[in-house]
Copies of this chain bind each other. A is one copy, B any other.
Amino acid sequence: MLDDTQANPDPDSAAVVLLSGGLDSSTCLAIALERGFQVHAISFRYGQRNVSELERASTLASSMGAVSHRIIDIDLAQLGGSALVDTSIAVPKSDRVEDIAADIPVTYVPARNTIFLSYALAVAETCQSTDIFIGVNALDYSGYPDCRPSFIAAFEVMARLATKAGVGAESGAAESHGGSRKLRIHTPLIDLTKAQIIAEGLRLGVDYSHTLSCYDPVQSNNSDGQPCGHCDACLLRAKGFAANGISDPAI
């Protein structure tokens, strides 16, 4: 179900790509475009500390060739419970990647990917698309429950029943619609390390100088957010570029 090797879509097939403006989702966008999809990119303004990433997302969507880019306002901040949206909880910082905690980090946002994928499903149904791309990967699902392959697989099953296209699937009728595609959640990065993701992005020409991965970027008058260099995201990113033998073009 999570096999991501299916043949390319028909010309003009639409896909929805979740685009945060970070390294992973930008690579995911490049992969969706390479596979021939007309991409509708969506981003979320959800009270995150890192609002600069939304500007990066707009730049990337436009420069890489997405046919549309929506920024959807959602209010997760009122739910609290995560360092990414609750400024009373500190973002963990370190100089060493080995210090990243093995359990669920405080940067976890309750049900975030469930909500993000639900909006993606709504956009997909509106665009007559049956393909959604999300850039979750192995490094994430060690810590975030809603990045695990089992979660993605369960979401896909649910999503196929949730929409107009899914009506009739219960009785098997959907199978008999000649050539109709079933809804798929594509996770092309799921088994890749950060170094492998960067290598794939470089092959596809992703300009990583426009991406921002930091959980807690430094704002100043003459910049739109510089990476802190010490949060989990910054440490993993630095390690990934180092493994590819190059420096991070965003720093």
Contacts and interface: CB of A to CB of B under 8 A. Distances in A.
Interface string A139-167: 00000011010110011011101111011
A34 interface: no
A241 interface: no
Interface residues of A, number: 43
A221 interface: no
Interface string A108-122: 101111110111011
A125 to B, nearest CB: 4
Which one of A122, A123, A157, A163 has the highest number of Cβ atoms from chain B below 10 Å of its Cβ? Answer: A122
A170 interface: yes
Contacts of A122: 76, 79, 110-112, 114-115
A75 B75 contact: no
A92 interface: no
B72 A75 contact: yes
A145 B166 contact: yes
A164 to B, nearest CB: 6
A43 to B, nearest CB: 13
A163 B119 contact: no
A80 B164 CA distance: 15
Contacts of A110: 121-122, 125-126, 163-164
Nearest to A125: B110
A70 interface: yes
Contact of A145 (B81, B112, B123, B167): B167
